[in-house]
Amino acid sequence: MPDDALGRPFGVPARREPVLPNGVLGMLIFVATEVMFFSGLISAFVIGKSNAIGGWPPPGQPRLPIEETALNTVALLASGVALYFANRAFKNDSPNTKRLLLLSIALGGFFVLFQGAEWVALIGEGLTITSGQLGGFFYLLVGTHALHVAAGFLILLYTYRRLSHDDLDRFTFWPAQIFWYFVVGVWPILYWQVYL
């Protein structure tokens, strides 16, 4: 039977793509709740900061590594950009998809490891979750985000595995991207609020 320009047989009603695939809808709802969760945390931090006696950061507390974390922020943002280009390559069936996805995963892994090293140094300087308001808020906000990065890292690894087995479809790749863009997008706000 001859096919049309899109490779579909003539006369057969085209199977329409769903407006909103289930996976995407589920991830959007989840991310919406996450946005509100982080908004609540950031709001609590802003109120706590303005309420602090003696200014912010509180005197006698270790300073947060602003410059080093700026570098780490660039790595996470670059990871998001790499994922964007990986998606473009995936749409065009380009062999670069794997390489770009791997780059995105590697940059995400770098972010988590760098942050782990930063935490070890800060704990060594005496900043713990019970050392004061700064420590409490820092580990709550940055720690919650780090958990999300770790989860996103695992999701991207799963996506890469599916891609390696030629088993990745766009309705699986799409929700993974939404989650990673959320993780990447929320970080500059946290950096600006917590570190600067």
- Summarize as ranges the residues that interact with another protein (CB under 8 A): 2, 4-6, 8-14, 16-17, 19-20, 28, 32, 35-36, 39-40, 42-43, 46-47, 49-51
Give the integer Cα–Cα distance in Å for 115 and 132: 20
Whose Cβ is closer to another protein: residue 25's or residue 71's? Answer: 25
CB of 43 to another protein, least distance (A): 4
Q: How far is the CB of 107 from another protein (least distance, A)?
A: 27
73 CB contacts (<8 Å, ≥6 apart)? 187, 188, 191
**Closest separation between CB of residue 174 and another protein, Å?**
12
CA 57 to chain centre: 27
Which tokens sit at 4? 């049309």
Measured CA to CA, the distance from residue 168 to residue 98 in angstroms comes to 11
Sign of CA dihedral 189, 76, 66, 48: positive
How far, in Å, are 50, 63, 114, 175, 195 from residue 82 at the CA level?
37, 32, 19, 16, 25
Placement of tokens 């990065």 in the chain: 149
Q: In the complex with another protein, which residue's Cβ is closer, 48 or 132?
A: 48
Question: What is the nearest approach in angstroms of another protein to the Cβ of residue 181?
Answer: 13
The nearest distance, CB 13 to another protein, in angstroms, is: 5
